[in-house]
Chains A and B, each alone.
Chain A
Amino acid sequence: MSLLTPTLLATARAVVVALLAVLAALAAGGFLRGLSTRALRTVFATTAVVFFTPTMLAGYGWLPTVAHWPSGSVAREIFYGAMLWVRFTPVAALALWLANPGPGSSARHCAKLAGVGGGRWWRRELGAAPWLAAGVVFLCVFQEFDLATSWGIRTWTVGLFDAQIGGLSLNESLQLAMPALAVELAVIIPLLCVLRHLRPRIREKTHESRAGCLLPLVHVFAGPALFLFGPACFVLGLGLGGFAAWMENFTLVGELAHSLLLAFVCALLSWLIATNVKRNMALALAVPGLLGPLLLSLFTLAITQPLGAVGRSVLPLVAVLTLQLLPLALLLRVLIRLGTADTALHIARSSGARPVLWSLSHGPAAGAVLLLFGMAYGDFTASALLAPPQFTTVFVRIFNLMHYGQSAVLSASLFIAVAAPLLACWLTHRALRAYFARRAH
Chain B
Amino acid sequence: MPTEPLWKLSNVRYFSGVVDWPVAPVTLDIPRGRTAILGPSGAGKTSLIEVLVGFKRAMSGESHGPLSLAWVPQDHGLWPAHTAREHLTLVGASTTKAEQLLAAFDLAEVGTSRAGDLSLGEGARLSVARALAQNAPVLVMDEPLAHVDSARVGKYWRVIREHIASTGASLVFATHQPETALAEAEHAICLHAGSPVFQGSISQLYNEPPDEKLTRCLGPANWLTPDDSRAWLGESWASGRCVRPERLVISPAGPLTVVASRFCGAFAETELRSADGAIRTFLHRPEQALAVDTKVKITVKLFATS
Using a CB–CB cutoff of 8 Å, the interface residues on chain A facing chain B are: 100, 103-107, 109-111, 113-116, 121, 124-127, 204, 206-207, 209
CB distance from A98 to the nearest CB of B (A): 14
**Which of B49-57, B192-200, B212-220, B255-263 participates in binding chain A?**
B49-57
A109 with B79: CB separation less than 8 A = no
A114: chain B residues at CB < 8 Å are 70, 90-92, 130, 134
CA distance A204 to B77 in the complex (A): 12
B68: chain A residues at CB < 8 Å are 113
Chain B residues numbered 71-86 whose CB sits less than 8 Å from any CB in chain A = 71, 73-82
Selected contact of B73 from candidates A106, A115, A125, CB within 8 Å = A106
CA distance A127 to B114 in the complex (A): 13
A207 with B91: CB separation less than 8 A = no
A124 with B46: CB separation less than 8 A = no
A207 with B50: CB separation less than 8 A = yes
B81 with A110: CB separation less than 8 A = no
CA distance A339 to B3 in the complex (A): 53
A209 with B80: CB separation less than 8 A = no
User: Interface readout for B164-193 with A: 1 if CB under 8 Å, 0 if not?
Assistant: 000000000000000000000000000000
Q: Does B23 contact A (CB under 8 A)?
A: no
Chain B residues numbered 111-126 whose CB sits less than 8 Å from any CB in chain A = none
A125 with B90: CB separation less than 8 A = no
Selected contact of B55 from candidates A109, A121, A124, A204, CB within 8 Å = A109
B224: chain A residues at CB < 8 Å are none
A103 with B56: CB separation less than 8 A = no
CA distance A126 to B54 in the complex (A): 24
- Given A105-B55, A110-B77, A124-B81, 18 extra CB contacts under 8 A: A100-B80, A103-B80, A106-B77, A109-B73, A113-B53, A114-B70, A114-B134, A115-B91, A116-B90, A121-B79, A121-B82, A126-B81, A206-B75, A207-B46, A207-B50, A207-B55, A207-B75, A209-B56
B134: chain A residues at CB < 8 Å are 113-114
Q: Does B69 contact A (CB under 8 A)?
A: yes
Using a CB–CB cutoff of 8 Å, the interface residues on chain B facing chain A are: 46, 50, 53-56, 68-71, 73-82, 90-92, 130, 134, 136
CA distance A105 to B92 in the complex (A): 21
B53: chain A residues at CB < 8 Å are 109, 113
Using a Cβ cutoff of 8 Å, how many contacts connect chains A and B?
72
CB distance from A206 to the nearest CB of B (A): 5
Instruction: Show 20 residue pairs from A and B whose CB-CB distance is below 8 angstroms, ordered by the A residue.
Output: A100-B80, A103-B80, A104-B75, A106-B55, A106-B74, A107-B77, A107-B78, A109-B71, A110-B71, A110-B79, A110-B130, A114-B90, A114-B130, A115-B91, A121-B79, A124-B81, A125-B79, A126-B81, A207-B74, A207-B75
CA distance A209 to B57 in the complex (A): 9
CB distance from A121 to the nearest CB of B (A): 8
CA distance A341 to B91 in the complex (A): 36
B71: chain A residues at CB < 8 Å are 106, 109-110, 113
A209 with B55: CB separation less than 8 A = yes
A109: chain B residues at CB < 8 Å are 53-55, 71, 73, 77
* In the complex, residue of chain B having the shortest beta-carbon distance to the beta carbon of A125: B81
A105: chain B residues at CB < 8 Å are 55
A111 with B73: CB separation less than 8 A = no
A206: chain B residues at CB < 8 Å are 75
CA distance A435 to B66 in the complex (A): 63
* In the complex, residue of chain A having the shortest beta-carbon distance to the beta carbon of B136: A113
